[in-house]
Amino acid sequence: MQPDRLFSEAYQEQLVLPDGTQMRLRLVGPGDRDGLVQAFERLSMESRIQRWFYPKMRLTEAEIDAILSPADEHHGGILAVQLDAMGEEEAGIGMARFVRNPQDPAAAEIAITIVDGWQGMGLGRILLHRLLAMMGERRIPWAEGRLQADNTRMRRLLEPYVPAGGFHRDGDTLLFRFAVPQLGDPLMAQLARNAAAVAHLFKRMAEDGVLLPLAEAEKRLQSLGSKALLETLQRQDRKRAPARSRGD
C-alpha cells in the first residue's frame, strides 16, 4: 500500500454526462462480482467480438476472480459506475484494465470496455487517460495490446499516444505498443486538461441553462479533438433552435 498514490482503494471521481447521468470512477474490487457479470450480459455480441476477438458467451470464474482481485503492481482496473438519484451505485457501465505481461514485465496489456448504450460519449477517452495515469504511478514503462483492424473508436482513442507507424497489422488485428507518458509529461498534463475540460463541458451541457455559445463550444471541442462530443452538442443545439426562435 502506497499512501501517496492517487489510484488506490480511496480513489473516487464524480462525473456528470451530458444527459445528466451521474457517474463515479473508482477502482474495481472484490465487491463488484454481480456488477461485472451484469455489465457483461449487457454487452452486444459486436462489442464482445471487438473486445475478445470472438463471440464470447460468458466470463469464466477464473477471469472474474482475476479482474476482481485488488489492484497491485501487476494488474488493476478502473470502473465507471452509474449512480441513481440518491448518489447510490446503480450499474457498471465501463472498465479499463491493465495486466502486466509475464514475459515482458516492463509492459502491460491494456483493454477498455464500455457497455453499448454508453459508447461514443467520451467515457473511453477519460478511462484510458486515468488508466495510463495509474500505470504511470506504478512505473510501468510500456502499454501494449491489440484491437480489430476495423475498430475505429479504439484506434482513435489510442492515436494521441501511439507514435507514427506504431500500429502493426497482423491479419485482421492491429498490434500496438507505446511508452506510458509519465505523470510530469506535457502530453499527460495536456490530456488531463482535456479530460477535465470534457468533464466540465458534460456538466454544463447537463445543466442546460448555462450553455456555452455554440461557436465557442465548437472551438473548444475541436481543440480537444472530440468529434463525438461535438456532434452531441450540435444535436442539442438543433433541438434548442425552435425554442430560441420562439423566444422561450
Q: Which is nearer to ligand COA, 134 or 157 (CB)?
A: 157
Among 27, 107, 123, 158, binds ligand COA (CB under 6 A): 123
Give the nearest distance from C-beta 176 to ligand COA in angstroms. Answer: 10
Integer Cα distance of 235 and 182 in angstroms = 37
Integer Cα distance of 84 and 172 in angstroms = 40
Check if the beta carbon of residue 178 is closer than 8 Å to that of residue 191.
no
Residue type, 6: L
Region of 77-85, 204-212, 225-233, 238-246 interacting with ligand COA (CB under 6 A) = 225-233
Integer-rounded Cα radius of gyration of the chain: 19
Site for ligand COA in 82-121 (CB under 6 A): 111-114, 119-121
Binding-residue total with ligand COA (CB under 6 A): 26
Query: Does position 151 bind ligand COA by CB under 6 A?
Result: yes
Residue nearest to ligand COA (CB): 124
Q: Which is nearer to ligand COA, 227 or 241 (CB)?
A: 227
Give which of 216, 218, 211 is closest to 240, Cα–Cα. Answer: 211
Q: Which is nearer to ligand COA, 84 or 116 (CB)?
A: 116
Check if the beta carbon of residue 65 is closer than 8 Å to that of residue 77.
no
Give the nearest distance from C-beta 195 to ligand COA in angstroms. Answer: 10
Give the CB-side neighbour count of residue 92, counting CA atoms within 13 A: 24
Region of 10-18, 19-27, 122-130, 172-180 interacting with ligand COA (CB under 6 A) = 122-130
Integer Cα distance of 49 and 43 in angstroms = 10
How far is residue 187 from each of residues 102, 154, 194, 242, 243, measured CA to CA in Å?
28, 19, 10, 41, 41
Q: Which is nearer to ligand COA, 141 or 225 (CB)?
A: 225
Among 26, 51, 97, 129, binds ligand COA (CB under 6 A): 51
Query: Does position 125 bind ligand COA by CB under 6 A?
Result: yes
Give the nearest distance from C-beta 39 to ligand COA in angstroms. Answer: 11
The side-by-side arrangement of strands in the sheet containing 142-148 is 12-16, 22-27, 75-83, 89-101, 104-114, 142-148, 173-179, 167-170
Among 50, 82, 101, 182, binds ligand COA (CB under 6 A): 50
Query: Does position 220 bind ligand COA by CB under 6 A?
Result: no
C-alpha cell at 53: 476477438
Residues that bind ligand COA (CB under 6 A): 47, 50-51, 111-114, 119-125, 145, 147, 151-154, 156-157, 225-228
